[in-house]
A and B are shown apart, each in its own frame.
Chain A
Amino acid sequence: MKTTLPGTLTAAFIIAGKDLRSELRRRTALVSAVVFAALILAIFNFARDPTSLRADQLAPSAFWITCAFAAVTALSRAFAVELEHGALDGLLLAPVAREALFLGKFIGNLVFVLVVEGITLPLFVLFFNVNLNGALPGITLVALLATVGFVAVGTVFSALTARVRFNELMLPVLLLPFLVPPIMAAVQVTSRLLAGRPLLEQAAWLKILGVYDVVFLTLCAMIFPALVDE
């Protein structure tokens, strides 16, 4: 049989497509992440004393903490599905580079987390009565930059902890420290954008996010093959 082996990017999209199709059919991770996000936003909102803390002061932190925790719940499933019937062996035996496997899982997780954030944003506007005005393009950009970085790290830790006992506990413990830089930058930028400051003023924070993405995406792609090989 004449075969044309898929290149790294093609293989990555095949794997990501499989993951997204599985998730669309199952919906458990999506529903649980969105419910979890709504719950945290509600708690933040109702726990706030409106006389001492304005909504717009708390809103950016609440939004990004919510997104980070919702992402962790989603990422914990990323490799669990590959272990259910030994499907990971099938992926490892496929004639594609290990980097393609990382990229595929990364793209699948990225789309998934961006969807969760996209659903969380209207809830955030609703709960905190935030006026996005012209801030939406800027918030979209910062969400994309922040999410790329922490999903890359999350994909690697998800692979690392998938075969470990109590992996639901291990993943957040390992991942959360790595989420501090992108979440901190995202909170800063979001806060200023909501205050009506222009996006161009936030170039320094955006650069930090960009560097974080490049460094960790590269590092994760390099580390990943060693993690999945026994």
Chain B
Amino acid sequence: MPPFRPVVVFRNGPLVSPAVTLSANPPILLRATDLRRSFGERVVLAGVSLSLADGETIAVTGPNGVGKTTLLRILAGLLRPSAGQVMLDGVPVRTADPASRATIGLLSHRAMLYDDLTLQENLEFAARLHGLPDPRRVARDALDQVELLSRSGDSPRTLSRGLIQRAALARALLHAPRLLLLDEPFTGLDSAAAERLKSLLAARRPAGLGTIIVTHQLHEAREIATRVLALQGGAIGSIAA
């Protein structure tokens, strides 16, 4: 496999979303402006700006350790940027009403599941916290969506890496979030599961749901995203086709 060498066109200021399939000017769901984040002396993000419109899928690529996960955690409101701001539906994500977090779904490196609960119980717990009606059915549907219904009574500790990833995806998709943030979603998935995920993500676009995928796999990114961005040296730019 050739090394990751994207052709990057860096731009100053917020990136303007290109036209998406929904309408000529779909509303902006998420706007990040001049995000900076350092860990001690190490600068990870040095002024990242991006915007995501409803129905858009953005892929952020870049080599390991470049700050993709940090960016995703800041966009989710889990990590405070050293400077800059993330606006979700026009409201700062860090200070927004707790109810606005229902808009966000996150798949991170870690599954966010409890070993002492079954998959069904884990998803029911998440569904209850999101105030979804009939949490039992919602959890079953979510497990069915990732073809894990037959393992619904199993603990996450008994599952393989790929199955854990599918369970974590089910948890992230459970409440049909308007903004879905995925950190290396294809890790551990077999080809059938990866195809299934691609079709799940494709189905989000016509529904006007936004998705940001962080991945180091450029070919996967090109396949599913409406726009591909590259993160390098703490800055972000669009990748030339």
Contacts and interface: CB of A to CB of B under 8 A. Distances in A.
Band of interface residues on B: 35 or more
B114 to A, nearest CB: 6
Nearest to B171: A90
A94 B126 contact: yes
A81 interface: yes
Interface stretch (A14-22, A137-145, A165-173, A191-199): A14-22
Contact of B131 (A6, A21, A23, A25): A6
B139 to A, nearest CB: 13
B163 interface: no
B132 interface: yes
Contact of B129 (A2, A21, A95, A229): A95
A98 B110 CA distance: 21
Contact of A93 (B101, B113, B114): B101
Contact of B98 (A4, A26, A97): A97
Contacts, number: 94
A3 B111 CA distance: 24
A156 interface: no
Interface stretch (B14-22, B73-81, B230-238): B73-81
Nearest to B106: A93
A95 B128 CA distance: 10
A15 B212 CA distance: 29
B117 A93 contact: no
Nearest to B112: A90
A86 interface: yes
Contacts of B131: 3-6, 95
B114 A18 contact: yes
A53 interface: no
A111 interface: no
Interface in B107-129: 108-117, 121, 125-126, 128-129
B110 A86 contact: yes
- Residues of B contacting A: mostly: loop
Interface residues of A, number: 32
B129 A6 contact: yes
Contacts of B68: none
Given A86-B108, A86-B109, A93-B101, A1 B132 contact: yes
B130 interface: yes
B129 A11 contact: yes
A91 B115 CA distance: 15
Contacts of B113: 85, 87
B133 A2 contact: yes
B100 interface: yes
Given A18-B125, A89-B106, A230-B78, A3 B114 contact: no
A25 B122 CA distance: 14
Contacts of A39: none
A135 interface: no
Contact of A3 (B77, B79, B175): B175
A23 B114 CA distance: 11
Interface in A95-145: 95-98
Which 5 pairs show the lowest CB-CB distances between chains A and B? A86-B110, A90-B112, A95-B102, A22-B116, A94-B129
Given A14-B129, A84-B114, 6 more contacts: A3-B132, A4-B131, A25-B117, A87-B113, A89-B112, A230-B80
27 contacts: A1-B175, A3-B102, A3-B175, A5-B99, A5-B131, A11-B129, A14-B129, A15-B129, A18-B125, A25-B117, A85-B110, A85-B111, A85-B112, A85-B156, A86-B110, A87-B112, A87-B113, A89-B106, A90-B126, A93-B77, A93-B104, A94-B101, A94-B130, A95-B99, A95-B101, A230-B78, A230-B80
